[in-house]
Structure 1
């Protein structure tokens, strides 16, 4: 057993890396108090993982034993350059995905760039490949046992980076403020960029940044008042957002209460919702704004609204469906997933049959309600089928495909010429492929809309944000959604390069980049960038991801320093 690393869960860098003796024994230490993982790679390539280790002050560490699992899968990995040539000296990390932290093993580097691995059959895996002079890449392992080729691209040199900074300085649009209500004259240069665009997608590098949310509010006001956009679609559940849409249209309800439980339960989003209501109250605006959700992660509201509609048009069928649909009336899918697989198949068949029934009874149902009510109920049923497909993992990337379909449905319902703003995470709005091989929502939309989709990625250099603390046992004051802080992005990263342009607030139109020269060579390459979702950790959850900005986005919006979004009381 020649290679035994241990790593602190605050970082994926090994804190001890040792080679065992002839009998497979090893030792290292002492270790600082904390939580650690232990892994090993045998000479034959078998990857072993231990349970987590808790090191406490003034307590000696006990012996640990790692065993080669009997049920394991053999597979080969080759790390190559962009020409397909194997990379001598390449290094590989084997990551077994887990919550709240991954397990990581470190096979020794090879002189050929080729690795033979034998891993436990259970679990989901990814690889992190690196080589001197090349950009580190994370690569998914879709199916154990299949040979994999991981391609690394040569890292950009300093001349390319300087050219990228110079191009941003010359062509970036310096914005005056993130706050709405301060005029939009500095945004006017975006009009020719967006004049033929039907959907402007606004990403975000975290789900809890005040400046991102404020800037989206300001951009939405600009797009509404100067360019005729009328729909705001959030990465939020379709059925749950219907009540907020009703508030925006009619004033019914309390928007602060209706935001409860949403990722967007913040003062910044509440201010935007109230602005939309004020806009709609003005009789000089005949075309009213709509606030919609495109997601499908929960089912209770969709079930309740669907049954309410059926109670109106077909009471007998509504009564028949109450019990069969009961497993979908809980927000947590755990109860449903614990049911026997036969029940899962029955639920899927039930929703398929109900969809066929809706089509057959369209005329009857419409006469007893209205065409608009039937259409909405039919969409609620569609969302339930999307939700079921996702929780049962019937298809990969079901969520992003469903969100794209739901946005296109919203555009169709609003009529020809409708223009929408889409609000979601960077990982959903980007046009390019996902690191894991999945198609994000933006890629589906790009196939449908072509250049009529303009996707803005959001980036920041450093600062605070809020996220759900995924630590297993945080202190009481650190439970739930709390404030975190991200340090400056590494030198040479996307965020660092944008910061070197010298503007605290910046818009960059990547469609204007010349397709040639050193600046283009930098922008077409993979770069590190802050990539944080709804979860984070006091123990050092990774803050960096990678992106090919030119492939994934049409433009970028950059904030040099950020603060936490303000939770509603």
Structure 2
């Protein structure tokens, strides 16, 4: 068995990863089984560097706020702001404090310095303006979308839809949208109030106006301005939908929320890759918008990128949903590829040497500190005798489910964190 596994194990580099893929995907997703470990981000950074230099990759997108990510993209492409400011304001979830993320942004800026715009690296966040504890106010997205339209379409068309004063009145103070108790107590959410309901209709009208004026707006905007307007529209409608379900009291409330988050992620991933989400959903991938940012390296938790249903426990209850990766894979087929990361030990979190009868235990027996394994070949090698699922003593680490191997292009294995 050890010999067979060794036959499907390679060093983690761009050539080995590309050798596992059936084609050249628009989106190459690299997952991680836990957050907050710079050792895993260092592996990501090195792989991205090689993909840039050897395979022509020009975009990376990570599990961070899509609106904040615009600040990072401006910095790496034009040098706007300072590195300190970008790390402080351009990331959500605390990612800005990561030394590895700082190294990534610094390297991307250095790579872009002096290059023509078409050859510069791009950065994007693909998560919504969401945290596990709540959601942001839709103010930023709504007002930015309104501002884009107000400078480009006839005043009568926009005033019929709404005015800045109308938006401001309905939005009210931002802290009523971000009340920390709302995640666990639906009665504290503003999402089903009369104001929020009217805002959902106005946001839908603004997006409809944006789409209806597409020929004019594309002709009179830069590509980046148009893409950002679409992002503002997706984010505004997504946030208002999310807030609506935060106020729900049904048993499906939490399933709705995690599903909506990954739906927002999926739409952002398709947009970063230059694919029109509606066309892709209808099976018309060939009608995608011009692709100038693909191929893209995607980085997030395995649970957001896997093709199988994702599961977790919240409030003591099991929750299941289709991840962003599952949604995108269903639309793009082989133009989406997924590498899951698995770990041997995280001793500072109490995760010690894996049992030998697990996938992690089999891989841990090898000499490599970091390797990539052909997951489908590994599944074929194991046959019907799949190893037992590993059980983590720490809630923050999600072990690899052996049943998923056949639906993964590769497993990146890091022996010790």
Q: In the alignment, what sits opposite 1:199?
A: 27
Aligned residues between the structures:
360
5+ residue gaps, structure 1:
1-162, 176-185, 466-483, 532-539, 563-569
For the residues of structure 1 that align with 2:176 and 2:100, how far apart are their CA atoms? 29
- CA positional deviation for 1:225: 0.8
Within 5 Å, give how 1:293-312 maps onto structure 2.
Answer: 293-296=125-128, 297=130, 298=136, 299=138, 301-310=140-149, 312=151
Q: Which moves more between the two structures, 207-216 or 381-390?
A: 381-390
For the residues of structure 2 that align with 1:345 and 1:229, how far apart are their CA atoms? 42
* 1:305-336 alpha-carbon deviations (Å, 9 max, x no partner): 33543564469623332222345677725578
For the residues of structure 2 that align with 1:493 and 1:513, how far apart are their CA atoms? 13
Q: In the alignment, what sits opposite 1:124?
A: none
In structure 2, the CA distance between the partners of 1:367 and 1:505, relative to structure 1 (3 Å rule), is closer
Q: 1:262 pairs with 89, 92, 104, which one?
A: 92
- CA positional deviation for 1:239: 1.0
TM-score by length of 2: 0.76
Q: Which moves more between the two structures, 410-419 or 260-269?
A: 410-419
For the residues of structure 2 that align with 1:358 and 1:284, how far apart are their CA atoms? 30
- CA positional deviation for 1:545: 4.8
Asked if 1:347 corresponds to 2:212, the answer is no
- CA positional deviation for 1:416: 6.2
Contact 2:20–2:409 under 8 Å retained in 1: no
SS in 1 for 2:383: helix
Contact 2:177–2:190 under 8 Å retained in 1: no
Q: In the alignment, what sits opposite 2:411?
A: 556
Asked if 1:507 corresponds to 2:372, the answer is yes
In structure 2, the CA distance between the partners of 1:455 and 1:365, relative to structure 1 (3 Å rule), is closer
Q: In the alignment, what sits opposite 1:245?
A: 73
Asked if 1:454 corresponds to 2:337, the answer is yes
- CA positional deviation for 1:377: 1.6
Asked if 1:424 corresponds to 2:286, the answer is no
- CA positional deviation for 1:243: 0.8
In structure 2, the CA distance between the partners of 1:228 and 1:337, relative to structure 1 (3 Å rule), is same
* 1:487-524 alpha-carbon deviations (Å, 9 max, x no partner): 33344233222101232211111133474x6x13244x
Asked if 1:520 corresponds to 2:378, the answer is no
5+ residue gaps, structure 2:
131-135, 183-187, 246-252, 275-288, 312-318
For the residues of structure 1 that align with 2:342 and 2:109, how far apart are their CA atoms? 29
SS in 1 for 2:120: coil
* 1:363-419 alpha-carbon deviations (Å, 9 max, x no partner): 666677556424422321211111222232384611112211211112116616820
- CA positional deviation for 1:460: 1.1
Q: In the alignment, what sits opposite 1:76?
A: none
Q: Which moves more between the two structures, 231-240 or 348-357?
A: 348-357
In structure 2, the CA distance between the partners of 1:267 and 1:331, relative to structure 1 (3 Å rule), is farther
In structure 2, the CA distance between the partners of 1:364 and 1:295, relative to structure 1 (3 Å rule), is same
Q: 1:318 pairs with 154, 164, 168, which one?
A: 164
Within 5 Å, give how 1:432-451 maps onto structure 2.
Answer: 432-435=308-311, 436-451=319-334
- CA positional deviation for 1:300: 5.1
Q: 1:275 pairs with 100, 107, 115, which one?
A: 107
In structure 2, the CA distance between the partners of 1:374 and 1:284, relative to structure 1 (3 Å rule), is closer
For the residues of structure 2 that align with 1:321 and 1:367, how far apart are their CA atoms? 27
In structure 2, the CA distance between the partners of 1:210 and 1:331, relative to structure 1 (3 Å rule), is farther
* 1:426-482 alpha-carbon deviations (Å, 9 max, x no partner): 1011111223441111111211222222211111111257xxxxxxxxxxxxxxxxx
Q: In the alignment, what sits opposite 2:49?
A: 221
For the residues of structure 2 that align with 1:229 and 1:392, how far apart are their CA atoms? 38
For the residues of structure 1 that align with 2:332 and 2:218, how far apart are their CA atoms? 31
SS in 1 for 2:310: coil
Asked if 1:168 corresponds to 2:5, the answer is yes
Contact 1:294–1:403 under 8 Å retained in 2: yes
Q: In the alignment, what sits opposite 2:277?
A: none
- CA positional deviation for 1:551: 3.9
In structure 2, the CA distance between the partners of 1:389 and 1:286, relative to structure 1 (3 Å rule), is closer
For the residues of structure 2 that align with 1:330 and 1:300, how far apart are their CA atoms? 12
For the residues of structure 1 that align with 2:223 and 2:14, how far apart are their CA atoms? 40
- CA positional deviation for 1:219: 0.4
Q: Over the residues paired in the alignment, what is the CA RMSD in angstroms?
A: 3.1
For the residues of structure 1 that align with 2:385 and 2:143, how far apart are their CA atoms? 51
SS in 2 for 1:528: coil
